[in-house]
Structure 1
């Protein structure tokens, strides 16, 4: 499957919170950034109910609620790819969720603006999240929901760091 992740900083919406989403087949991990888009923190794990051919379910509705509650300016959905940058079978799920969220956010506010939904490379995020969980003394079984949130934090923090680098590089090029 040949789908490329988006590049942080491109068409950047500016200051504001970002929502990170780790789409799994059973659970969806969610993280949010601070309003300066510097630090990602876990929010919750949403049970996955919407299948690929289903109507939007309670999981999509919950993500939309979180976007509204946090005043999000950009949504970052993890794009699962292997170490060789090839798409895995989970790419379709991530892409479908990004599409569904994007469709619900088109013309989102009273000025008709749309909140951008980005796909971010999420290689190794679950591995890093699982390792961090084990280091904190939890087992994989007891911490499954926390792993999903931690993976969402890894996805979003990687995006935020790459965004900061891209924006500072643009500032340097512009002579700012």
Structure 2
């Protein structure tokens, strides 16, 4: 398995570098980054998916711009905690990351974090709190979901998950 759940590998996370959070969808990839202290997640952008080689070129630009040292991938578990149908796609993406050390680094630290309800939570937030139109929501929802995923992982590590 190229990636492990955050609960298993939190103690091995790289220190003093930013982490990148990814919400891997079929059409888009939401991207967020942390600060180097691993306290705050910030939404960065949405990458429109085409094919993997083009997707990683776009991600590579962000990785270089922000000096990324590790990755947290949203892991779409079912509500009962079992692996959802998209978990295999996330594992495949993580495996492909290992094949591109020029972009993701040698032996990249890749953690999987439960993303149940991340998009739903951000959609509810945008509707109830921010009150923006459906068109504008579609433009930002994926990067906000990535932020939600990454912030959850950071909070877990800060609270003693290491």
Instruction: Please report the TM-score for the alignment, with normalisation by the length of structure 2.
Output: 0.86
Q: What value does the CA root-mean-square deviation take over the aligned residues? A: 2.2
Label 1:167 to 1:122 Cα distance change in 2 as closer, same or farther (>3 A): closer
Show the 5 A alignment for 1:25-174.
25-50=26-51, 56-105=52-101, 113-134=106-127, 135-166=129-160
Q: Tell me the distance in 2 between the aligned counterparts of 1:143 and 1:167.
A: 32
Summarize the Cα distance change of 1:101–1:108 in structure 2 as closer, same or farther, 3 Å threshold.
closer
Task: Measure, in 2, the Cα distance between the counterparts of 1:42 and 1:108.
Answer: 19
Give unpaired runs (5+ residues) of structure 2. Answer: none
Residues 66 and 128 of structure 1: CA distance in aligned 2, closer, same or farther (over 3 Å): same
Deviation at 1:57, TM superposition (A): 2.4
Distance 2:68 2:90 in 1: 19
Q: Are the aligned partners of 1:102 and 1:116 in contact in 2 as well (CA < 8 Å)?
A: no
For normalisation by structure 1, the TM-score amounts to 0.80
Residues 106 and 114 of structure 1 are in contact (CA less than 8 Å); yes or no, is this contact kept in structure 2? no
Higher helix share: 2
TM-fit CA distance, 1:4? 6.7
Whole-angstrom CA distance in 2 between matches of 1:17 and 1:86: 30
CA shift at 1:99, angstroms? 1.7
**Larger strand proportion, structure 1 or 2?**
2
Give the Cα separation in 2 of the matches to 1:142 and 1:70. 26
* Count of equivalent residues: 158
